């Protein structure tokens, strides 16, 4: 059985590590490289860096902070945000990242996923899927819609259908963020992750909503996630990665402990 991964998520704006709530109102929490090093030392399996301002402000990828992160880390890390072309992907990988995530650019030009997979391999290509629940008049979720530009722009696309298409095009894994849950600390959208996990055959990384240890075990046990992104719990020092993994072991969930 494959072991579940715990992946700290670090948002980056203007070369600083920040924390958002529902992709807005950033608070500076430190240096991306030093924060990543701390989490690696705590036992993180990977790290996920998101430049959430890049696609909104249309600025180019900033490579200096990526190089600094690569110098500090000995575990894999992914970079998402502002990636628009094959050259962007190539340069991010050259700067030291192990994987590159695309969202807005893939929605606008889906063949980018295929081109990237053909050149760099599927293992490098991550679809960053930001999804918002669409509810009926009774408040029940009927589907999830894809958003781009750091969750600021609605596309009208069905999130599950887009994930299936992305898998066929060449995405090696999907990091799915619930816009409704992001930074709210009230639990992952387990229904979204469960539906997604059943719809595709590539790893699903759950993102958005971890506020308690129970939330993480739930998204593994009931959502079928392969990995969980964790941010607030770590950034505000409510738990360490060691705490999280010890709890998961006690719940009979297989994680890497050494």
**Looking at per-residue confidence, does 20 or 8 come out higher?**
8
Of 11, 88, 182, 226, which residue is the catalytic one?
A: 11
Q: Return mean pLDDT, the chain.
A: 93
Tell me whether residue 98 is one of the annotated catalytic residues. no
pLDDT in tens, 192-214: 999 999 999 999 999 999 999 99
What's the pLDDT at 58?
64
- Nearest-angstrom CA–CA distance, 149 and 191: 24
Cα–Cα nearest to 171, from 206, 203, 132, 147: 203
Taking residues 28-57, report their average pLDDT. 88
Least reliable range by pLDDT among 51-55, 123-127, 179-183: 51-55
Q: Residue 54 pLDDT > 90, yes or no? A: no
The domain made up of 5-250 has a fold known as: TIM Barrel (3.20.20)
What's the pLDDT at 56?
58
Of 31, 45, 51, 130, which residue is the catalytic one?
A: 130
Q: Residue 83 pLDDT > 90, yes or no? A: yes
Which ranges of 16-103 would DSSP assign to H, the alpha helix?
32-42, 54-57, 64-72, 86-94
Q: Residue 21 pLDDT > 70, yes or no? A: no
| CA 197 to chain centroid | 15
Ordered by start, the domain boundaries in the chain are 5-250
| Assessment of whether the complete model's pTM goes beyond 0.85 | yes
Tell me whether residue 243 is one of the annotated catalytic residues. no
Q: Residue 61 pLDDT > 90, yes or no? A: no
What's the pLDDT at 53?
66
């Amino acid at each position: 059985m494959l072991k579940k991964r715990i992946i700290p998520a670090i948002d980056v704006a203007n070369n600083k590590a920040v924390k958002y709530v529902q992709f807005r109102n950033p608070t500076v929490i430190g240096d991306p490289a030093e924060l990543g090093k701390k989490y690696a030392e705590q036992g993180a399996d990977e790290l996920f860096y998101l430049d959430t301002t890049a696609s909104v402000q249309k600025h180019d990828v900033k490579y200096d902070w990526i190089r600094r992160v690569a110098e500090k880390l000995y575990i894999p890390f992914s970079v998402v945000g502002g990636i628009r072309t094959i050259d962007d992907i190539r340069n991010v990988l050259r700067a030291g990242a192990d994987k590159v995530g695309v969202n807005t650019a893939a929605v606008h030009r889906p063949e980018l996923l295929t081109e990237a997979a053909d050149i760099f391999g599927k293992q490098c290509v991550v679809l960053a899927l930001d999804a918002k629940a669409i509810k009926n008049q009774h408040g029940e979720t009927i589907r999830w819609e894809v958003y781009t530009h750091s969750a600021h722009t609605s596309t009208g696309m069905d999130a599950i259908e887009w994930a299936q298409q992305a898998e066929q095009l060449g995405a090696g894994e999907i990091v799915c963020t619930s816009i409704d849950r992001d930074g709210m600390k009230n639990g992952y959208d387990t229904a979204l992750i469960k539906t997604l996990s059943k719809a595709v055959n590539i790893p699903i990384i759950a993102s958005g909503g971890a506020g308690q240890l129970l939330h993480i075990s739930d998204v593994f046990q009931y959502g079928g996630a392969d990995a969980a992104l964790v941010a607030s719990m770590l950034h505000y020092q409510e738990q360490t990665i060691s705490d999280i993994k010890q709890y998961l072991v006690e719940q009979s969930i297989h994680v890497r402990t050494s």
